[in-house]
Copies of this chain bind each other. A is one copy, B any other.
Amino acid sequence: MTDPEGTPAPADVSAASARDASGATGPAAAKPDRRPGGRTARIRAQVLAAVRGELAENGHEGLTMEGVATRAGVHRATVYRRWRDVGGLLVDVIDAAGEIDWQPPDTGSLRGDLTALNEEIQESLTVQPSFAVALMAASFHSERAARAQTRLWEDRYAQCEILVDRAAGRGELPPGQTDARRLLLAATAPVYHHLVLLRAAPDPRLPEQAATAAVLASAGGAFTASAEGSP
């Protein structure tokens, strides 16, 4: 009961149909899709729609396996077999959302880019229902949800490194290799911190102010590898 996903093998049921682009693991290629035909696909669509509906009505608190199954018109056992737990449902919903084609903002200035990025983050944490908040809540119970959350943010940050490259090309950053990851972390973390940990009301000026602070810090050489903190 302490480790809900201790068994490694039978957990790829939903991953088989959802995650095909990044199927770099071995067993995924050996068993790509046994029977992806009409009924299976239809049930998956019904269940994912039910997850979205439940999330919209009851929030991430009211997202229960039985509620999803009832709303989808599917038996509980089917949902348990294919998605295992709430984290698996959320992972599949997010993967199915197809946000791989997300692009970081490009406003012409580093400060503008970071501000736009922060506004996106603030909205993703504020909008109802918030998949980001639901995934965070689930990540404390489901290891798969935790990995999905880490992967999601990791991909986003990797994509956002181009913002720093572009800024360096425009000469907005001081000479020396700036650590893009630390700059992005400093710029975006306050928004997340303010909304999730402090649970304060969203401040419409915070995205810009956090971005400005990060730009100023980088102008001071806080994120350059030639600074003092690196051996």
Contact surface of A with B, Cβ cutoff 8 Å? 1-3, 58-62, 136-137, 140-141, 146, 149-150, 153-154, 157, 182, 185-186, 188-190, 192-194, 197-199, 205, 208-210, 212-214, 216-223, 227, 229-230
Contact = CB atoms under 8 A, between A and B. Distances in A.
A99 to B, nearest CB: 16
Contact of A222 (B185, B193, B212): B212
Nearest to A134: B140
A221 B140 CA distance: 38
Contacts of A185: 190, 193-194
22 contacts: A1-B62, A3-B61, A61-B140, A137-B140, A150-B199, A153-B197, A153-B198, A154-B198, A157-B198, A185-B190, A186-B213, A188-B193, A189-B189, A189-B193, A205-B230, A208-B229, A209-B223, A209-B229, A212-B227, A213-B218, A217-B217, A219-B220
A227 B185 CA distance: 23
Copies assembled: 2
Contact of A220 (B182, B192, B217): B217
Contacts of A59: 2
Contacts of A214: 186, 213, 217
Contacts of A136: 140, 197
A223 to B, nearest CB: 7
A199 B141 CA distance: 14
Contacts of A150: 198-199
A193 B219 CA distance: 22
A60 B141 CA distance: 9
Nearest to A230: B205
A3 B58 CA distance: 10
Contacts of A182: 190, 209, 213
Contact of A2 (B62, B194, B223, B227): B62
